[in-house]
Structure 1
Amino acid sequence: MKKQPERPVVITDAARSQGDQLRSREIRYVSMMGLRAACLIAGAILISVKPPLLPVWLILCAAGMVILPWMAVLIANDRPPKSRAERAQSQQPAPTHRVLEDKPAEEREHRVIDAED
């Protein structure tokens, strides 16, 4: 019996759908905001328990509550990384227009195409 490959073979360079991208960004945002809520709850529990080095733990919890929302918004609004083909395309120089003749347009001979001939 022939074994099936573990991952399907990708035959296209198409990017993930917008819906898939949105779903993954939503999951990351909600998980980071859940971690922020956990920092708030941990801070409240620490205050009631009063462990040694309480100010250090509270500073860490407060830093998590301040930094995590900022990071969550940045990550949620970020686009997926460019593919190798997109990076190669953006690094190519823009096409330049060549001047075929040194004469100004007024001095060049123009070819006239007559519809009756």
Structure 2
Amino acid sequence: MKRQAYQPILITDAPRSQDDQLSSRQKRYVLMMSVRVACLIGGAILVGVDAPLLWLWLPLCAVGMVLVPWLAVLLANDRPPKEEHRLANRFRPRHREEPGPTALTAQERPHRVIDGEP
């Protein structure tokens, strides 16, 4: 296995630190949960004042209170995307100039000999 030469990382190419990622995910989670609290308070106020179109606003608030926590947890556990070069070779088609081993007949295929004695 060949070792790759050391490639220095440019500061502009360096990924964000784990602490930075964690703090941004925490801020996003708190913001989304505050939206959930706003939906709860808004729904309570709409019921209290007997607002017009209550049949429309109340389900919207309920959907917000149910979906926002789910999305908040998904986004809080999200991590940055993988680097592109890690998967670049996996999806690139392979070009063969000579026929592969499956294109040869059984007699034409090279035989592997395993010798039991050294």
- The answer, yes or no, to whether TM exceeds 0.5 is yes
Aligned to 2:22: 22
Does residue 78 of the first structure (1) align with residue 87 of the second (2)? Answer: no
How much has 1:88 moved relative to structure 2? 2.2
How much has 1:107 moved relative to structure 2? 7.6
For 1:61 and 1:79, the matched residues in 2 are separated by: 29
Task: Tell me the TM-score normalised to structure 2 length.
Answer: 0.66
Instruction: State the 4+ residue runs in structure 1 displaced beyond 6 angstroms.
Output: none
For 2:112 and 2:88, the matched residues in 1 are separated by: 37
Give the RMSD, CA atoms, in angstroms. Answer: 2.6
Task: Tell me the TM-score normalised to structure 1 length.
Answer: 0.66
After TM superposition, the structure 1 = structure 2 runs for residues 1-117 of structure 1, keeping only pairs within 5 Å, are 11-12=10-11, 13-88=13-88, 91=91, 102-106=111-115
How much has 1:33 moved relative to structure 2? 0.3
Question: Which SS does the other structure have where 2:88 is aligned?
Answer: helix
- What are the ranges of 5 or more consecutive residues in structure 2 without an aligned counterpart? 1-8, 94-109
- What are the ranges of 5 or more consecutive residues in structure 1 without an aligned counterpart? 1-9, 94-100, 111-117
Identity %: 54
How much has 1:11 moved relative to structure 2? 2.2
How much has 1:92 moved relative to structure 2? 6.2
Aligned length: 93
